[in-house]
């Protein structure tokens, strides 16, 4: 009987990476995240997995390997998304250097050092590799090489892989098997405005959310509890009503609606803006259900996008379960790796392993078996 490689998911959040790797044919065995509600969401969707809702520094690598029911790291793939706010380009350099979350990437390194997994995938913000986090990232690469791991890394845009969202992320892939030729997943989609485009155009907001029933600000769909939109004050309803459909922004407002803090600045044009129907969305963040946090206005309805719409823009299927209130779920969505991106990476890693014949009984699944019911996006 074929058996898949076992996944230990570090900084697992609500399970975006895990879902993608499950769709790619891997066996999700263990998750670790300090956030209780994110861990609860993970458990709701992966009931057979062992979920540690704890500080990763308090969990030994031996515990993780035992929980995965693995005799050695040769049966294991580690996926990880260490908290990345410390490396964000929005942070001052002095703040980034002193941010305690920066040290959590060394917990990932510790687990790799102890378990010696067959392979690993780490995802983070681009600033870790080419910004204020570069010295730390180079140190991580050096230590991984000393442990015997070959690595490839690069910054990808999720829109290039079918996700209806512009989201740039650093992806690091590694293995300690010299027979494996590591590669990045092949791009499946391209900017439709490129003159020499030869791939399917980027997926769009319309494709992702265009079929959902109309709701007003402060309302919830009777059939879908997370197709719910945040309430808006009367003045913000006026602002949304006057903001042009399909990509409009606050520059169209009359003077009396402009916030005092915006009257002397020309930047931050995305705040209070609407998404465009036929383009990918902007990056989904933890503030994605609030028009004051970015270009999170619905393309034509006078409200911010709903939780369901945010989940779809992140490529979570409609039957995926989330724990917590609106704010909690929005934060989980904003922190998640889009499952479709994780699936593309997992499929490419699995193909590299099969080609090397290093793990000949790696299970594969058909697209129909891998795709949960309620998934809206189309394969390229």
Give the per-residue SS3 of 26-88: CEEEEEECCCHHHHHHHHHHCCCCEEECCCHHHCCHHHHHHHCCCCCHHHEEEEECCCCHHHC
| 84 carries an active-site annotation | yes
363 in any annotated domain = yes
- Averaged pLDDT score across all residues of the chain: 90
The number of folded domains in the chain is 1
Mean pLDDT over 263-267 rounds to 74
The yes-or-no verdict on residue 37 having pLDDT over 70 is: yes
Q: Is residue 224 part of a domain?
A: no
pLDDT tier for residue 371 given thresholds of 50, 70 and 90: very low
* Structural contact between residues 225 and 185, judged by C-beta atoms closer than 8 angstroms: no
Which DSSP symbol is given to 101? G
Output the pLDDT for position 203: 98
pLDDT value of position 262: 82
Structural domain including 90 reads 6-192+337-370
Decide if 247 is inside a domain.
Answer: no
Residue 174 belongs to some domain of the structure: yes
Does residue 26 lie within any of the structural domains?
yes
Per-residue confidence at 293, pLDDT binned at 50, 70, 90?
A: very high
Q: Give 121-152 pLDDT, tens digit per residue.
A: 999 999 898 888 889 999 999 999 999 999 99
The C-alpha atoms of residue 339 and residue 345 are separated, in whole angstroms, by 10
Catalytic residue among 14, 84, 261, 288: 84
Answer whether 324's CB lies under 8 Å from 41's CB.
Answer: yes
Residue 240: predicted pLDDT: 97
Asked if the structure places residue 227 within a domain, the reply is no
**How far, in Å, are 83, 107, 172, 180, 309 from residue 130 at the CA level?**
17, 21, 13, 26, 32
Residues 6+ apart with CB under 8 A from 355: 180, 181
**53-56 contacts, C-beta under 8 A, 24 or more apart:** 56/10, 56/11, 56/32, 56/104, 56/107, 56/111
What's the average model confidence in pLDDT over 96-119?
Answer: 84
Could you read off the pLDDT of 204-230 as tens digits, one per residue?
Answer: 999 999 999 999 999 999 999 999 999
DSSP 8-state symbol, 252: G
**Residue 261: per-residue pLDDT:** 83
Tokens found for residue 83: 């908290």
Task: Residue 35: give its domain's CATH number.
Answer: 3.40.50.150
Judge whether 109 lies within some domain.
yes
152 within a domain of the structure (yes/no) = yes
């Amino acid at each position: 009987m074929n058996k898949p490689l076992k996944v230990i998911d570090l900084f697992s959040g609500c399970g975006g990476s895990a879902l993608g790797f499950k769709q790619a044919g891997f066996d999700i065995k263990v998750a670790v995240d300090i956030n209780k509600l994110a861990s609860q969401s993970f458990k709701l969707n992966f009931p057979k997995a062992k979920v540690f809702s704890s500080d990763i520094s308090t969990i030994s690598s031996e515990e993780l390997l035992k929980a995965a029911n693995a005799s050695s790291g040769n049966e294991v793939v580690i996926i990880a998304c260490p908290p990345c706010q410390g490396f964000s380009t929005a942070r001052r350099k002095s703040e980034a250097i002193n941010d305690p979350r920066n040290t959590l990437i060394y917990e990932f390194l510790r687990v790799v050092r102890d378990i010696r997994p067959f392979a690993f995938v780490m995802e983070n913000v681009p600033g870790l590799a080419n910004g204020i986090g570069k010295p730390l990232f180079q140190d991580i690469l050096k230590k991984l090489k000393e442990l015997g791991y070959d690595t490839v890394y690069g910054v990808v845009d999720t829109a290039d892989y079918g996700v209806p969202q512009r989201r740039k992320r650093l992806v690091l892939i590694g293995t300690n098997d010299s027979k494996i030729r590591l590669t990045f997943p092949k791009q499946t989609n391209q900017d439709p405005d490129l003159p020499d485009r030869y791939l399917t155009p980027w997926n769009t907001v319309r494709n992702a959310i265009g079929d959902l029933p109309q709701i007003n600000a402060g309302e919830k769909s009777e059939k879908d509890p997370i197709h719910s939109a945040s309430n808006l004050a009367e003045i913000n309803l006026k602002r949304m009503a006057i903001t042009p459909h399909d990509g409009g922004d606050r520059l169209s407002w009359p003077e009396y609606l402009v916030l005092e803090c915006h009257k002397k600045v020309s930047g931050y044009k995305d705040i209070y803006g609407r998404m465009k129907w036929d383009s990918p969305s902007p990056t989904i963040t933890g503030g994605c259900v609030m028009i004051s946090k970015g270009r999170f206005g619905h393309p034509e309805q006078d409200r911010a996008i709903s939780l369901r719409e945010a989940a779809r823009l992140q490529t979570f299927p409609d039957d995926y379960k989330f724990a917590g209130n609106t704010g909690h779920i929005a934060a989980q969505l904003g922190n998640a790796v889009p499952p479709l991106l994780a699936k593309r990476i997992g499929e490419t890693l699995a193909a590299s392993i099969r080609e090397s014949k290093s793990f000949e009984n790696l299970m594969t699944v058909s697209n129909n078996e891998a795709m949960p019911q309620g998934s809206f996006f189309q394969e390229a």
